[in-house]
Structures are given as structure tokens and as C-alpha cells.
Amino acid sequence: MVNLRPDETATAITLSNDGSEPIYGQVRVFRWDQANGEDALAPTQDMVASPPLIEMGPGARQIIRLLRTGPQAPQAEQTFRILIDEIAPPELGTQSGVTVRLRYSVPIFITPGAVSPPTLAWTAQRVGGQWVLEARNDGGRHAQVAAVQLVSGERVYDINKGLLGYALAGRTRRWQLSLPPDAVLKAPLKLRARINANPAEAAVTLSPGP
């Protein structure tokens, strides 16, 4: 994760190749939004990455500079993602095209100091035989959601141990849940999680299916 102050115009991240073979990559920055409960990436010129193409030998390191070219004093939190795609070596030529071997996606946040903290409202709904968890963030900052549990009566369901995802400011994010076949979610339903690395607990509204 990369965090920038509104007055910062540049930062950098460092990549390293711990393997025994060279790595070739393409580096791009996208505007990051959320629509219809899903992440949405769009091309942007408000932030650029340099260099856009990288080659790292075994044991080598590479500095990627991120330069802001958009508004320098945003009133609302701005969100981007830097995508680093590992691509085939150039000697393979056109036989491999631009096939992406591995993709790394790193979130970037530019957060004004005066914006409000995340305010989350949680809903669970059964859609097409599968449970869906929804987080609506009415606050002014993003919420990083991790280590999620759902508590229904005496049963505790571990949704995930690590990062589930992000609910961006003013947006709604949905996740499909992989629950046991005999899972029963009923009111009162409670969620336990780590929100921006802090332990949190909240009520979950059960919504009737479509």
C-alpha cells in the first residue's frame, strides 16, 4: 500500500528479484473506483509511473517512481492502483504476444487530513444460492477489510484470515462468501473484522434475496 499526503507530488516503491532468472515487466497506473459492488479501473494521466518497462536480473532491485500530474490539493480522497505485469522475455518475440505471467496490484491513496473516517454499513444477502456480504462506506476515507468473521447465534464462520478487500469512500463493495453447505445466517448477525488494521465489531443486516 502507498499513502501520499495531498502536498506530496512524488514517491517511489522498490521492486526486487529474488529469483534466479531475469524478470521483465510492464508498469501502469490506473484510477481506482468501485461500481456495482466491484472494483473498476480506468486509465488516468493524474499519476504516472517511471520507468513504464522494467528488466531486473537475478538479485537486482528496481525503483519505480510515481509522479502526480493531477490536482495537487484534492478535497476528497483519491485512489489509484499501480499494476505491475510480469511479461515474457523479449527474445521470445511475437510467439508469446503480451501474455501476462503474473500481476501485482498495489493500492495508492491520497487522503486529505480533513476527511471523515470510514463509516461502514454491513448487509448479508443470499443470491443464487450463495451468500454475499456488502459493505457500504459512507465515510470520507477508504476501509481496508481483513480477518473477517460472521457470528450467527453460537456459530462463528471464518470468512478469511487475511485481506478481504477495500470499501472505498462513498462506495459499496460486495464479496461472495464461501460458507459451509450447512451454514445458516440468521438475525442477530454480527461481523468481526480488522478495519484499517484495527479490531472492529458491527451488526449485519440480513436482506431478503432478489
What tens digit of pLDDT does each residue of 184-205 get?
Answer: 899 999 999 999 999 999 999 9
pLDDT at 111: 92
Residues 71 and 147 in one domain: no
Residue 93 contacts residue 52 (beta carbons within 8 Å) = no
Residues 134 and 181 in one domain: yes
The span from the CA of 153 to the CA of 151, in Å, is 6
pLDDT at 182: 85
pLDDT at 45: 94
pLDDT at 98: 56
Of 75, 90, 110, which residue sits at a domain end?
Answer: 110
pLDDT at 113: 84
pLDDT at 88: 84
pLDDT at 71: 74
Residues 155 and 173 in one domain: yes
Residues 6+ apart with CB under 8 A from 182: none
HSE-up of residue 178 (Cα within 13 Å, Cβ side): 3
Q: Quick: pLDDT tens for 36-83.
A: 999 999 999 999 999 999 999 999 999 999 999 987 778 899 999 999
Of 90, 110, 130, which residue sits at a domain end?
Answer: 110
pLDDT at 196: 97
The span from the CA of 43 to the CA of 45, in Å, is 7
Least Cα distance to 46 among 33, 35, 37 occurs for 33
Residue 159 lies in a domain: yes
Torsion angle of C-alpha atoms 119, 123, 124, 126, degrees rounded to 10 = -140
Residues 159 and 87 in one domain: no
Residue 69 contacts residue 47 (beta carbons within 8 Å) = yes
The span from the CA of 1 to the CA of 105, in Å, is 9
- The total number of structural domains in the chain stands at 2
Give the end-to-end CA distance of the chain in Å, rounded to a whole number.
Answer: 36
What CATH number is given to the structural domain containing 131?
2.60.40
Q: Quick: pLDDT tens for 71-124.
A: 777 889 999 999 999 988 877 655 545 566 789 999 999 999 889 999 999 999
pLDDT at 89: 83
What CATH number is given to the structural domain containing 51?
2.60.40.10
Q: Can you state the percent helix, strand and coil of the chain, rounding each to 5?
A: 5, 60, 40
